[in-house]
A and B are shown apart, each in its own frame.
Chain A
Amino acid sequence: MTGAPRLRARLSWFLALSLAAVLALAGMALTFALAQVTETFVVTRMEHDRDTLIASLSAPDTLEQALPRVYRQPYSGHYFQVERNDGEVIRSRSLWDTRLALPSLEAGEQWRSEQAGPQGQPLLVLASGVRAGDAVTIVGVAEDMTELRTTLARVYIALAVLGILTLGALLWLQRRILQGLFAPLMRLQVDTERLIHGELEKLSTQGVPEEVVPLVEAIDRLLGVLSHRLSRSRRALGDLAHSLKTPLTALGTLEGEPELRDSPSLVGRHRAQLERIQRLVDAQLRRARLAGGSAPGRGMALARGVDDLLDTLGRIYRDKQIVVERDVPTDIRVAGDREDVLELLGIVLDNAFKWATSRVAITVGTGETVRIRIEDDGPGVSPAQAGLLTRRGLRLDESAPGSGLGLAIVSDIVEQYEGRLDIVPKGRLGGLAVTVSLPAHSRTILDEDQSSSSSSRRSPRSSK
Chain B
Amino acid sequence: MRILVVEDDAEVARGLRRDLNAAGFAVDLADNALDAGHLGSEEPYDLIVLDLGLPDGSGLELLRRWRDADNPVPVLVLTARDAWHERVEGFRAGADDYVGKPFHPEELIARVTALVRRAQGVPGGVLRRGELTLDEERQRLHLADDSVVELTGTEFRLMRYFMLHAGQILSKTRLAEHIYDYDHDPDSNVVEVYINRLRHKLGSRYIRTRRGQGYLFDGAGRGDDER
User: Which residues of A (242-257) have their CB < 8 Å from a CB of B?
Assistant: 242-257
Q: How far is the CB of A108 from chain B (nearest CB, A)?
A: 111
Q: Which residues of A contact B53 (CB under 8 A)?
A: 242, 246
Binary interface encoding of chain A residues 249-282 relative to chain B, with 1 for a CB under 8 A from any of its CBs, else 0 = 1111111110000000000000000100010000
Tell me the bound Cα distance from A151 to B67 in angstroms.
103
In whole angstroms, what is the CA distance A238 to B12 when docked? 20
| Most chain A CB atoms below 10 A, which of B79, B102, B118 | B102
Once A246-B9, A308-B92, A319-B124 are accepted as A-B contacts, the answer to whether A256 and B84 lie under 8 Å apart by CB is no
B15: chain A residues at CB < 8 Å are 250, 252-254, 256
By the criterion CB–CB under 8 Å, are A316 and B97 in contact? yes
Which residues does chain B contribute within 8 Å of A309, judged by CB atoms? 84, 88
Looking at chain A's contact residues, is the secondary structure mostly helix, strand, loop, or mixed? helix
Tell me the complex Cα distance, A453–B210, Å. Answer: 79
Task: State in angstroms the CA–CA spacing of A251 and B14 once bound together.
Answer: 12
Contact A316 B85 (CB under 8 A): no
Cross-chain contact B118 with A319 (CB below 8 angstroms): yes
Taking a contact as CB atoms under 8 Å apart, the answer to whether A246 and B84 are in contact is no
Which residues on A sit within 8 Å (CB–CB) of B80? 241-246, 249
Q: Which residue on A lies nearest to B16, using beta carbons?
A: A253
- Given A238-B81, A249-B102, A256-B18, the answer on whether A346 and B91 have CB atoms closer than 8 Å is no
- Residues of A contacting B222 in the complex (Cβ-Cβ under 8 angstroms): none
Q: List, in ascending order, chain A residues with CB within 8 A of B98's CB.
A: 316
Binary per-residue interface labels of chain A (288-317) against chain B in the complex, 1 for a CB within 8 Å, 0 otherwise: 010000000000000000001101100110
Q: Whole-angstrom distance from the CB of B99 to the nearest CB of chain A?
A: 10
B223 / chain A contacts, CB cutoff of 8 Å: none
Residue of B nearest to A248 (CB): B102
Instruction: Judge if A347 is at the interface, Cβ distance under 8 Å.
Output: yes
Q: Which of B14, B87, B118 has a CB less than 8 Å from the CB of A253?
A: B14
The answer to whether the Cβ of B126 comes within 8 Å of any Cβ in the partner chain is no
> Taking the nearest CB of chain A, how far is it from the CB of B73, in angstroms?
16
State A318–B117 Cα separation when bound (angstroms): 13
CB contact list, B1-48 vs A, under 8 A:
9, 11-12, 14-16, 18-19, 22
Verify if A345 is at the interface (C-beta below 8 Å from B).
yes
Known: A250-B11, A253-B16. A319 touches B88 (CB 8 A): no
Residue A171 at the B interface, CB < 8 A?
A: no
Number of interface residues of B (CB under 8 A): 32
Q: In the docked arrangement, what's the CA distance between A250 and B12, Å?
A: 5
Contact A241 B81 (CB under 8 A): yes
A106 close to chain B: CB less than 8 A: no
Q: Which residue of A lies closest to B78 (CB)?
A: A249
Q: Which residues of B contact A318 (CB under 8 A)?
A: 118
Q: Does A424 contact B (CB under 8 A)?
A: no
- B contact residues around A308 at 8 Å (CB): 88, 92
Across-interface contacts of A311 in B (CB, < 8 A): 88, 91-92
Known contacts A246-B9, A253-B15, A256-B15; A315 and B96 CB within 8 A of each other: yes
Does A342 lie at the interface of the complex (its beta carbon under 8 Å from any beta carbon of B)?
yes
Please indicate the chain B residues that have their CB under 8 angstroms from the CB of A253 in the complex.
Answer: 11-12, 14-16, 18-19, 105
CB <8 Å contact, A289 and B96: no
| Minimal Cβ-Cβ distance residue in B for A277 | B102
Contact A342 B105 (CB under 8 A): no
The reply to whether the CB of B220 lies closer than 8 angstroms to some CB of chain A is no
* A422 within 8 A of partner (CB): no
Chain A residues near B81 (CB, 8 Å)? 238, 241-242
**Once the chains bind, are B83 and A278 in contact (CB under 8 Å)?**
no
Q: How far is the CA of A252 from the CA of B97 in the complex (A)?
A: 21
- Which of the residues A244, A246, A255, A346 comes within 8 Å of B12, measured between beta carbons? A246
| A338 touches which of B11, B18, B85, B105 (Cβ 8 Å) | B85
> In the assembly, what is the distance between CA of A312 and CA of B198, in Å?
41
Report A131-167 residues with CB < 8 Å from chain B CB.
none
Q: A249-B12, A250-B15, A308-B88 are in contact. Are A339 and B105 (CB under 8 A)?
A: no
Measured between alpha carbons, how far is A249 from B124 in the docked complex, in Å? 27
Check B84–A342 contact: CB distance below 8 A: yes
B9/A249 in contact, CB under 8 A:
yes
CB distance from B114 to the nearest CB of A (A): 7
A255 and B105 in contact (CB under 8 A), knowing A245-B80, A342-B85? yes
- The answer to whether A249 touches B103, judged by C-beta atoms less than 8 angstroms apart, is yes
Minimal Cβ-Cβ distance residue in B for A254: B15
A289 CA to B82 CA in the complex, in Å?
A: 13
Cβ B84 vs Cβ A345 within 8 A = yes
Write the nearest CB–CB distance from A363 to chain B, whole angstroms. 20
Smallest CB separation, A113 vs chain B (Å): 100
- Nearest CB of chain A from residue B85's CB, rounded to whole Å: 4
Q: A271: nearest residue on chain B (CB-CB)? A: B104
Residues of chain A lying within 8 A (CB to CB) of residue B85? 338-339, 342-343, 346
* Residues of B contacting A252 in the complex (Cβ-Cβ under 8 angstroms): 15, 102-105
Shortest distance from the beta carbon of A423 to any chain B beta carbon, whole Å: 20
**Which residue of chain B has the shortest Cβ distance to A278 in the bound complex?**
B102
Give B14's nearest chain A residue, CB to CB: A253
Smallest CB separation, A315 vs chain B (Å)? 5
* Shortest CB distance A275–B (Å): 9
CB neighbours of A274 from chain B (8 A):
102
Q: How far is the CA of A56 from the CA of B162 in the complex (A)?
A: 156
- The verdict on B199 contacting chain A, using a C-beta distance below 8 Å, is no
**Bound-state Cα–Cα, A273 to B45, Å:** 36
**Minimum C-beta distance from B215 to chain A (A):** 30
Of A253, A257, A338, chain B has the most CB atoms within 10 Å of the CB of A253
Nearest Cβ in chain B — how far from A343, in angstroms?
5
Name the residue of chain B whose CB is nearest to the CB of A311.
Answer: B91
Docked pose: A345 CA to B80 CA in angstroms: 20
Expressed in whole angstroms, the Cα–Cα distance for A346 and B100 within the complex equals 14
A-B pairs, top 8 by smallest CB distance, nearest first, are A253-B15, A346-B84, A245-B80, A250-B11, A249-B102, A242-B80, A342-B85, A245-B101
With A250-B12, A252-B105, A319-B114 known, 4 other A-B pairs at CB within 8 A are A250-B11, A253-B16, A309-B84, A342-B84
Residue ranges of B at the interface with A (Cβ–Cβ < 8 Å): 9, 11-12, 14-16, 18-19, 22, 53, 79-81, 83-85, 87-88, 91-92, 96-98, 100-105, 114, 118, 124
A sample of 6 inter-chain contacts (CB < 8 A) reads: A249-B103, A250-B12, A252-B15, A252-B103, A254-B11, A345-B84
